[in-house]
Amino acid sequence: MFKCLTDLLRRGPRDERVLALEQEAQRLRLDLAEREQTSARLRQELARQRGGADARVTEAVQAQIERLLSDLSTPVAQLLTQAHLLEEEGKPVHAKDVLTVAKRLVRTLEDNGLTLEGRVGERVPFDPDHHEPLSADVSLEVGQTVTVRFVGVAYQGKVLRKAGVEQRGEGRVER
């Protein structure tokens, strides 16, 4: 019996250690589950915020496009009316009226960030990043004086269309 009690006493603390370890393992499992739930909740919140940011960006872009199109609507309507008068009704349209509408269109685009590079007839040093020769037969050197025949177009510093240029004196007579 003494031996049995001794065995029980020996097992007791070890059983308590096992029990303590099992309790610690259970606590760690609960802690891990709680952290996984927190992580999942935070991922959902992040996805929601990203979706909200995307929606705000889309909304801002749509508003900007709507404002641009609204600004362009009057000159476009006038231009289409002039085209109808000329093509369908055979009524004369004055070039000056068409140019006035075209200038309004360009001004509206400039007000919304479009940049015109060069002026027709302007003499400038050739820059291949901003100019394009109108003739493939011409070899232009950087810095060589050229004449702008078609303006270039840029938006936010990015060249969308290079200015069309000719060698100085080529084509039309200079003024």
Q: Is residue 164 part of a domain?
A: yes
CA distances (Å), origin 154, targets 16, 158, 159, 160, 167: 79, 5, 4, 5, 22
Q: Is residue 108 part of a domain?
A: no
CATH number at residue 168: 2.30.22
CB 161 within 8 A of CB 124: no
Q: Is residue 106 part of a domain?
A: no
pLDDT 10s digits, 108-166: 999 999 999 999 999 999 999 999 999 988 889 999 999 999 999 999 999 999 999 99
Output phi, psi for 173, to 5 deg.
Answer: -75, 135
Question: In which domain, by residue range, is 148 found?
Answer: 114-175
pLDDT 10s digits, 20-63: 889 999 999 999 999 999 999 999 999 888 888 888 999 999 99
Number of structural domains (the chain) is 1
Residue in the structure block whose two tokens are 């291949």: 128
Q: Is residue 13 part of a domain?
A: no
Q: Is residue 11 part of a domain?
A: no
Q: Is residue 142 part of a domain?
A: yes
Q: Is residue 132 part of a domain?
A: yes
- SS3 (DSSP) at 166: strand
